[in-house]
Amino acid sequence: MTRFAHYPSLTNMPVVISGGATGIGASLVRSFAAQGAKVGFVDIALDEGRALARELAGLGQTATFIACDITDTAAYQAAIASFAEAHGDALVLVNNAAHDQRHDWAEITPATWDDRMAVNLKHAFFAIQAVAPGMARAGKGSIINTGSISWMILTPSLPLYETAKAATHGLTRAMARELGKSGIRVNTLVPGAVITERQLRLWLDAAALKSIEDAQALAGHVYPDDVARLALFLAADDSAMISAQQFLVDGGWANT
């Protein structure tokens, strides 16, 4: 018997997740599929996305993968329409896709700015634009935008990423007001230092891991499943009267 919650309202729920092939995204896909949701997910990681879809199909779960670059707005909105044809109009959207590549502010060009905003912010708005009409017809829906504590704790070498992630909660607040009377909730899920394979490969050596744990109020580390469990709650009917808020899963690090 699992010690974590099962949400009956997520059974057969059409869900769209961006950046779902690896890391936090893969945990989101697995977690929603395990709840009985009908998951559609996109990513540019073709092999990983296909492998995850096969894995979940083997478990009798529903997870449809479409290889898609979310910075191509037309292609991404077309993928969302394809998921709607297969699963029904999305009633949950998790805007997870992002890229936290380190960068030097003095070397940023206008083209780089546009590229970083596209991969970290712009796609979230246009995904909302694509799913909101179907949610409005149903009179319900949950949109979960993924933020970051990076801008809250003044992380160096990430100015564009932090700008986009701070703006993400502005998008949440704006769209919560725009869509709320149609029964659509919009919230921001804010991960802390999540231990993923990518983070371990690129940045998290033993010293960095110790520094993170020292900064947190809680001992231990945040893992992708910790983030996914909060997403499940925000998607389920259990959070029916929660909107325009941000929720941190950071081990008690950031001071908001």
Q: Is 223 part of the annotated catalytic residue set?
A: no
Q: Are 188 and 246 in contact, with CB atoms under 8 Å apart?
A: yes
pLDDT digits (tens, 9 = 90+) for 144-201: 999 999 999 999 999 999 999 999 999 999 999 999 999 999 999 999 999 988 887 8
Residue with tokens 């898609």: 68
Domain covering 8-196+224-249 assigned CATH 3.30.365.10 in the classification: no
Cα radius of gyration (the chain): 17
pLDDT digits (tens, 9 = 90+) for 59-114: 999 999 999 999 999 999 999 999 999 999 999 999 999 998 899 999 999 999 99
Q: Are 160 and 45 in contact, with CB atoms under 8 Å apart?
A: no
**Domain positions in the chain:** 8-196+224-249
Residue with tokens 């941190």: 248
Residue with tokens 């191509």: 72
Q: Where are the beta strands (DSSP E) in 68-198?
A: 92-95, 141-146, 184-191
Q: How far apart are CA 133 and CA 195, in angstroms?
A: 36
> What pTM was computed for the model?
0.96
Q: Where are the beta strands (DSSP E) in 134-245?
A: 141-146, 184-191
Q: What are phi and psi of 188, to 5 degrees?
A: -110, 125
pLDDT digits (tens, 9 = 90+) for 213-244: 999 999 999 999 999 999 999 999 999 999 99
Residue with tokens 């932090």: 162
Beta bridge partners of 145: 95, 188
Q: Are 19 and 25 in contact, with CB atoms under 8 Å apart?
A: yes
Whether residue 1 is predicted with pLDDT greater than 80 in this model: the reply is: no
Catalytic residue among 7, 76, 161, 223: 161
